Amino acid sequence: MELITKYHGTIEYKEEEIIYFKKGIPGFQNLKKFVLLPVEENDFFSVLHSVEDNNIGFIVVSSFNVKKDYEIELNDTVLKELNIKEEKDVSIFNTVTLNSEVSKITSNLKAPILINIKDRLGEQIILNDEKYEIKYPLFKE
Protein backbone atom coordinates (compact mmCIF):
# COMPACT_ATOMS: atom_id res chain seq x y z
CA MET A 1 0.00 0.00 0.00
CA GLU A 2 1.10 3.54 -0.59
CA LEU A 3 0.71 6.70 1.48
CA ILE A 4 1.71 10.10 0.12
CA THR A 5 2.60 12.24 3.13
CA LYS A 6 3.04 15.96 3.47
CA TYR A 7 6.49 15.84 5.11
CA HIS A 8 7.88 12.34 4.62
CA GLY A 9 7.26 11.72 0.93
CA THR A 10 5.72 8.53 -0.38
CA ILE A 11 5.62 5.68 2.11
CA GLU A 12 5.15 2.04 1.21
CA TYR A 13 3.57 -0.12 3.91
CA LYS A 14 1.77 -3.43 4.28
CA GLU A 15 -1.62 -4.03 5.87
CA GLU A 16 0.03 -6.13 8.61
CA GLU A 17 2.19 -3.13 9.63
CA ILE A 18 -0.82 -1.04 10.66
CA ILE A 19 -1.14 -0.34 14.39
CA TYR A 20 -4.73 0.08 15.57
CA PHE A 21 -5.52 2.74 18.17
CA LYS A 22 -9.07 1.89 19.25
CA LYS A 23 -9.45 5.26 21.02
CA GLY A 24 -7.36 7.22 18.55
CA ILE A 25 -4.70 9.51 19.98
CA PRO A 26 -5.68 12.44 22.25
CA GLY A 27 -6.60 15.32 19.96
CA PHE A 28 -6.98 12.92 17.03
CA GLN A 29 -9.60 10.46 18.30
CA ASN A 30 -11.02 10.02 14.79
CA LEU A 31 -7.74 8.53 13.52
CA LYS A 32 -7.34 4.86 14.41
CA LYS A 33 -4.74 3.44 12.00
CA PHE A 34 -1.04 4.32 12.12
CA VAL A 35 2.25 2.93 10.89
CA LEU A 36 5.59 3.28 12.67
CA LEU A 37 8.35 4.32 10.29
CA PRO A 38 12.06 4.91 10.76
CA VAL A 39 13.41 8.38 10.10
CA GLU A 40 15.89 8.11 7.24
CA GLU A 41 19.52 8.31 8.36
CA ASN A 42 18.54 8.72 12.04
CA ASP A 43 17.58 5.60 13.97
CA PHE A 44 17.05 7.59 17.18
CA PHE A 45 13.70 8.92 15.92
CA SER A 46 10.68 7.29 14.28
CA VAL A 47 7.48 8.63 12.79
CA LEU A 48 4.08 7.40 13.92
CA HIS A 49 2.05 8.29 10.84
CA SER A 50 -1.67 8.12 10.24
CA VAL A 51 -2.70 6.09 7.20
CA GLU A 52 -6.11 7.80 7.28
CA ASP A 53 -4.83 11.39 7.08
CA ASN A 54 -1.64 11.97 5.12
CA ASN A 55 -1.03 15.27 6.98
CA ILE A 56 -0.81 13.72 10.46
CA GLY A 57 2.39 12.18 11.73
CA PHE A 58 4.22 12.38 15.06
CA ILE A 59 7.95 12.23 15.64
CA VAL A 60 8.51 9.71 18.43
CA VAL A 61 11.44 8.26 20.30
CA SER A 62 11.81 5.09 22.33
CA SER A 63 11.32 5.96 26.00
CA PHE A 64 14.46 4.05 26.93
CA ASN A 65 16.57 6.09 24.53
CA VAL A 66 15.48 9.19 26.44
CA LYS A 67 15.65 7.83 29.97
CA LYS A 68 17.31 4.47 30.61
CA ASP A 69 15.37 3.97 33.86
CA TYR A 70 11.97 4.91 32.38
CA GLU A 71 9.42 2.81 34.20
CA ILE A 72 5.65 2.83 34.13
CA GLU A 73 2.99 0.78 35.82
CA LEU A 74 0.07 -0.34 33.67
CA ASN A 75 -3.33 -0.95 35.18
CA ASP A 76 -5.43 -3.99 34.36
CA THR A 77 -7.66 -2.01 31.98
CA VAL A 78 -4.74 -0.98 29.75
CA LEU A 79 -3.28 -4.49 29.87
CA LYS A 80 -6.63 -5.92 28.75
CA GLU A 81 -7.33 -3.29 26.06
CA LEU A 82 -3.92 -3.82 24.48
CA ASN A 83 -3.96 -7.57 25.06
CA ILE A 84 -0.60 -7.40 26.81
CA LYS A 85 0.50 -10.78 28.10
CA GLU A 86 4.28 -10.33 28.29
CA GLU A 87 6.53 -7.31 28.77
CA LYS A 88 8.56 -8.22 25.67
CA ASP A 89 5.48 -7.65 23.47
CA VAL A 90 5.29 -3.94 24.33
CA SER A 91 7.21 -1.01 22.89
CA ILE A 92 6.96 2.38 24.56
CA PHE A 93 7.43 5.66 22.72
CA ASN A 94 7.19 9.33 23.58
CA THR A 95 6.25 12.18 21.27
CA VAL A 96 8.91 14.73 20.40
CA THR A 97 8.53 18.48 20.00
CA LEU A 98 11.07 19.71 17.48
CA ASN A 99 12.78 23.07 17.55
CA SER A 100 15.45 24.72 15.40
CA GLU A 101 17.50 25.07 18.58
CA VAL A 102 18.66 21.57 19.54
CA SER A 103 18.63 22.45 23.25
CA LYS A 104 14.88 23.13 23.01
CA ILE A 105 13.90 19.74 21.51
CA THR A 106 11.76 17.96 24.09
CA SER A 107 9.99 14.68 24.66
CA ASN A 108 6.71 14.13 26.49
CA LEU A 109 7.51 11.51 29.13
CA LYS A 110 4.15 12.10 30.85
CA ALA A 111 2.08 10.64 27.98
CA PRO A 112 3.75 7.52 26.57
CA ILE A 113 2.46 5.69 23.51
CA LEU A 114 2.22 1.97 24.17
CA ILE A 115 2.30 -0.46 21.26
CA ASN A 116 1.63 -4.17 21.52
CA ILE A 117 4.00 -5.11 18.72
CA LYS A 118 2.65 -8.66 18.55
CA ASP A 119 -1.04 -7.77 18.11
CA ARG A 120 -0.47 -4.32 16.51
CA LEU A 121 -2.55 -2.46 19.10
CA GLY A 122 -1.67 0.99 20.45
CA GLU A 123 -2.79 3.54 22.99
CA GLN A 124 -1.45 6.78 24.39
CA ILE A 125 -1.88 7.01 28.14
CA ILE A 126 -1.41 9.88 30.60
CA LEU A 127 0.71 9.03 33.63
CA ASN A 128 -0.18 10.30 37.07
CA ASP A 129 3.47 10.43 38.08
CA GLU A 130 5.24 13.65 39.02
CA LYS A 131 8.70 12.31 38.14
CA TYR A 132 8.01 12.52 34.40
CA GLU A 133 7.84 15.83 32.57
CA ILE A 134 5.75 16.92 29.59
CA LYS A 135 8.72 18.80 28.11
CA TYR A 136 11.77 16.73 29.00
CA PRO A 137 14.88 18.04 27.18
CA LEU A 138 16.22 15.41 24.79
CA PHE A 139 19.68 16.88 24.50
CA LYS A 140 21.40 18.19 27.57
CA GLU A 141 24.23 20.70 27.27
pLDDT tens profile 37-92: 988 778 899 999 999 999 999 999 999 999 999 999 999 999 999 999 999 999 99
Q: Provide CB contacts within 8 A for 132, sequence distance 6+.
A: 70, 109, 110
| Nearest by Cα to 124 from 113, 132, 140 | 113
pTM exceeds 0.85 for this model? yes
Gap between the Cα atoms of 46 and 62, Å rounded = 8
CA dihedral 75, 107, 91, 37 (to 10 degrees): 140
Rounded to an integer, what is the distance from CA 109 to the centroid of its chain? Answer: 11
Gap between the Cα atoms of 46 and 83, Å rounded = 23
Model pLDDT, residue 141: 60
Assigned CATH for 2-137: 2.30.290.10
